[in-house]
């Protein structure tokens, strides 16, 4: 029971990370679409104050898995070593470049490239890890990984990598709509959002559709309850994608696109959790067998659990305090001018 609750906590960490760091990685990816340094800079200015707060959620996943499911951590990470290393290198380079660019007066070309390519690679690497896990990681004796270096890389994990890139870029476009006060930027990325919504949705649907063919043998979607829950997750995600697409076409409802993407991500993660349960690392490592003993889980639930709402509360406060100030009525007027 406490292992299942903890599994839900790790899933919550995944939702928060994908939504929050997803959007600022997505802004880095979107910067690649712009030729104008000033516009890249506007994107970076949105990322600079929040990136390390957003990125820190990856630690909730990492330590949540390690403390709660040490067998899964010890098996998974060596199996996806190259992907995680590429992700770490990208996150490091990107973090440094953000600080460097914010402290520079102009747009330094080289650092700018590190920022954009780093965002892209980090997103892609994370996506391949998800694909590798869904595809299944066979383990040796004592739940240890004994396979080869590139076993994790397959057509399917490349597909999930691309889907992740598209999803993050979409979250980035939605966050621009929500947080930017730069009218021109909002117009450009509303257009991108309009295009990215169907693209991301298509890639996600493709990945979901191919899962039964390429997924690990331990995963089944047979049981009625599982089918019902998966259907619901799919429906929620579909409604959210449509809402985001609708919102990108309008000049009001600034928060809707981002909220919709966040809920779609939550539905997606919930769907994967439903698909996996009771496994944590397909094809055969179960939540129960990977879990720490109850003396550890109870300590985590009692000590860690109460902090999660608190952490979310003060992060939300900071997020609100540091929101860019809107130049109230001026913004929509300018936007019209531009689009005309």
Partner 1 sequence: MSSPTVLELSRWQFAVTAAFHMSFPAITVGLSVFLCINYALYLRTRDPVYLQIYRFWRKIFAVGFALGVVAGIVLTFEFGLNWGVYAHDVGPIIGVIIGMEVATAFFLEAGFIGIMLYGEGRVSDKVTMIANVMVALGTLLSTTWILAANSWMQTPTGFVRVNGQFQPKDWMSVLFNPSFPHRILHMLFAVLIAATWLIAGISAYYLARGRYRPFSRRSFSIAMGLLAILLPWQLFIGDNVASTMFQYQPAKLITLEGNYNSRNSGYNVLVIPEPWADKDLFQITIPNLSALLGPHDLSGQATTPGIDTIPADDRPNIYAVFYGFRVMFYSALVMFATALVGLYLRLRRKLYTSRRFLRWVTWTTPIGVLAIIGGWITAEAGRQPWVVYGQLRTGSAVSHLASGSMIFSLAGFVCLYLAMLTVWIAYVVRQVMRGPDPIETMDIQPSNPPGGDPASQEQTAGSSATAPAVMTSAMGSGMSEARP
Which residues are at the interface with partner 1 (CB under 8 A)? 49-50, 52-53, 55-56, 58-60, 62-71, 73-78, 81-82, 84-85, 88-89, 91-93, 95-96, 99-100, 103, 142-146, 148-149, 292-293, 295-296, 299-300, 303-304, 307-308, 311, 314-315, 317-318, 321-322
Which whole-number Å values give the CA distances from 145 to 129, 131, 136, 141, 192, in the listed order?
Answer: 15, 17, 12, 8, 41
| Three-state DSSP class for residue 50 | coil
Kindly tell me which of 75 and 204 has the beta carbon lying closer to partner 1.
75
In whole angstroms, the minimum distance from the beta carbon of 100 to partner 1 comes to: 7
Kindly tell me which of 240 and 280 has the beta carbon lying closer to partner 1.
280
* SS3 assignment for 284-335: CEEHHHHCCCHHHHHHHHHHCCCHHHHHHHHHHHHHHHCCCCCCCCHHHHHH
Kindly tell me which of 146 and 217 has the beta carbon lying closer to partner 1.
146
- The answer to whether 25 and 87 are in contact (CB under 8 A) is no
Kindly tell me which of 51 and 192 has the beta carbon lying closer to partner 1.
51
In whole angstroms, the minimum distance from the beta carbon of 23 to partner 1 comes to: 15
Kindly tell me which of 154 and 296 has the beta carbon lying closer to partner 1.
296
| Angle, in degrees to the nearest 10, between helices 155-179 and 256-276 | 150
In whole angstroms, the minimum distance from the beta carbon of 109 to partner 1 comes to: 16
Distance from C-alpha of 209 to C-alpha of 287, rounded to nearest angstrom: 25
Distance from C-alpha of 268 to C-alpha of 57, rounded to nearest angstrom: 18
In whole angstroms, the minimum distance from the beta carbon of 150 to partner 1 comes to: 9
In whole angstroms, the minimum distance from the beta carbon of 309 to partner 1 comes to: 11
């Amino acid at each position: 029971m406490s292992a299942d609750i903890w599994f839900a906590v790790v899933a919550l960490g995944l939702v928060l990370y994908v939504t929050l760091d997803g959007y600022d990685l997505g802004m880095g990816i979107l910067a690649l679409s712009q030729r104008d340094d000033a516009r890249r800079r506007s994107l970076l200015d949105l990322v600079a104050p929040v990136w390390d707060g957003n990125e820190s959620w990856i630690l909730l996943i990492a330590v949540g898995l390690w403390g709660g499911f040490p067998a899964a951590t010890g098996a998974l990470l060596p199996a996806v070593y190259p992907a995680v290393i590429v992700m770490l290198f990208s996150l490091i380079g990107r973090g440094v470049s953000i600080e460097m660019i914010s402290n520079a007066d102009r747009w330094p070309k080289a650092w700018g490239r590190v920022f954009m390519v780093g965002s892209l690679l980090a997103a892609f690497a994370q996506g391949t890890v998800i694909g590798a896990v869904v595809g299944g990681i066979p383990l040796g004796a004592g739940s240890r990984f004994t396979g080869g270096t590139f076993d994790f890389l397959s057509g399917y994990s490349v597909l999930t990598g691309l889907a992740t890139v598209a999803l993050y870029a979409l979250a980035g476009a939605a966050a621009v709509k929500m947080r930017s006060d730069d009218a021109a930027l909002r117009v450009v990325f509303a257009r991108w959002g309009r295009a990215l919504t169907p693209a991301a949705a298509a890639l996600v649907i493709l990945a979901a559709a191919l899962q039964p063919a390429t997924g690990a043998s331990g995963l089944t979607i047979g049981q009625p309850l599982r089918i019902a829950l998966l259907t619901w997750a799919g429906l929620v995600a579909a409604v959210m994608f449509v809402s985001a697409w609708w919102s990108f076409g309008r000049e009001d409802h600034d928060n809707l696109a981002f909220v919709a993407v966040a809920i779609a991500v939550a539905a997606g993660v919930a769907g994967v959790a439903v698909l996996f349960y009771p496994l944590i690392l397909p094809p055969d490592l179960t939540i129960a067998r990977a879990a720490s003993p109850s003396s550890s889980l109870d300590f985590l639930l009692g000590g860690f659990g109460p902090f999660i709402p608190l952490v979310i509360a003060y992060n939300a406060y900071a997020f609100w305090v540091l929101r860019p100030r809107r130049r109230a009525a001026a913004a929509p007027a300018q936007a019209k001018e531009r689009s005309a």
